[in-house]
Amino acid sequence: MGRKNIQGGKKTKGLARKNVGSYNKDIRKPETEEEEYAMVTQVSGSGRFRVVTDKDMVYVAILPGSMRGRMKRNSYVQLNSFLLINNRSSWQTMKPLAHVGIEHVYSEEQSNQLHLYDLFKVQRSVNMGNHNNIVNDDSNIEFSNTTPDMPIISNTDDEDESTIDEELNIDLI
């Protein structure tokens, strides 16, 4: 019989970086007609993401249970991530915002090797442009200290207090 592990451990061997800085030849690519590349445009929560394909089809992608929990560190999905999805077209009726399954999440290095940034250039510019317009669109906002119903009261040394009291009517406030 072996001895008991008295030193403990945190399973650090499983956390090792397997393919950092090297060209990986074994990148997951679409194998059937149902699989295609997609980019995340919106994070809906609870493992659901709104994705758009290179053919401008919009789907709701569902993260499977095998990619949740402790496997999340290897398959983290965020806004503008690139995915390989299975659109389930052989057994599901395709309609707007149909549910699709996430097969693989590409890292930044893998998406550079597959040239996914070039493939989704239009979708990325539209997605980034809409986000910036919503946040920074203040062209129609005007600020002023007066309202049309209120008289303008200036506090200068030339006027005495009686004139200010006459101009100020409490009913107008």
Of 46-55, 112-121, 132-141, 163-172, which range is least confident? 132-141
Provide the pLDDT for residue 92. 77
Q: Where are the domains of the chain?
A: 30-121
Rg (CA), the chain: 29
State how far Cα 57 lies from the chain centre.
18
SS (H, E, C) 11-61: CHHHHCCCCCCCCCCCCCCCCCCCEEEEEEEEEEECCEEEEEECCCCEEEE
> Whole-angstrom Cα distance, residue 3 to residue 104?
40
- Pick the residue with more confidence: 169 or 72? 72
Length reported for the chain: 173
Residue listed under structure tokens 């986000």: 131
CATH number of 30-121: 2.40.50.140
Helices (H) and strands (E) in the chain, counts: 4, 5
> pLDDT digit string (tens) for 102-145?
999 999 999 999 999 999 887 777 766 655 444 444 556 565 56
Rounded to an integer, the average pLDDT of 142-153 is: 58
Q: Is 0.85 topped by the overall pTM?
A: no
